Amino acid sequence: MLAIKRTIAESLGEPALGVEHVAGRHGISVRSVQRMFEREGVTFTEYVLHRRLDRAFRMLGDPAHARMHVIDIALACGFGDLSYFNGCFRRRFGEPPGYFRR
């Protein structure tokens, strides 16, 4: 499971990151990957979304990324749609991404 999570972490910026990609990279079935995450009480998709949001949160508060626009951070974290990113971010952290830039 650690290797799978490492692959996900390395691929978060890829919008097309999916369970098929991860399963293929590790030579196991899609269903096997899904079961691994189910045992941890989360779906593969939820896990990836949370990791992307966590990365975006860190980037928003990091002075090294202060010149990046929110959309650029969203794209760097694998989100292809700013509206979707904003909604997910607000649900997870209670405030819109721009709030953490102030």
DSSP state of 80: S
Domain identity same for 8 and 41: yes
Distances (CA, A) of 96 to 47, 49, 52, 59, 80: 20, 16, 15, 14, 17
- Answer whether residue 96 is part of any domain: yes
- 5: closest CA among 41, 38, 39, 36? 36
Domains in the chain: how many in total? Answer: 2
- Answer whether residue 51 is part of any domain: no
Q: What is the pLDDT along the chain (102 residues), one digit of tens a residue?
A: 999 999 999 999 999 999 999 999 999 999 999 999 999 999 999 999 999 999 999 999 999 999 999 999 999 999 999 999 999 999 999 999 999 985
DSSP state of 95: S
**CB-based burial, 17-47: b 16+ in 10 Å, e otherwise:** bbbebbbeeeeeeeeebeebbeeeeeebeeb
- Answer whether residue 76 is part of any domain: yes
Confidence at residue 10, expressed as pLDDT on a 0 to 100 scale: 95
Could you tell me the residue range of the domain that residue 11 belongs to? 2-45
Domain identity same for 60 and 94: yes
- Answer whether residue 10 is part of any domain: yes
Domain identity same for 68 and 40: no
Q: What is the DSSP string of 38-75?
A: HHTTS-HHHHHHHHHHHHHHHHHH-GGGTTS-HHHHHH
- Answer whether residue 34 is part of any domain: yes
* Residues in CB range of 9: below 8 A, 6 or more apart: 51
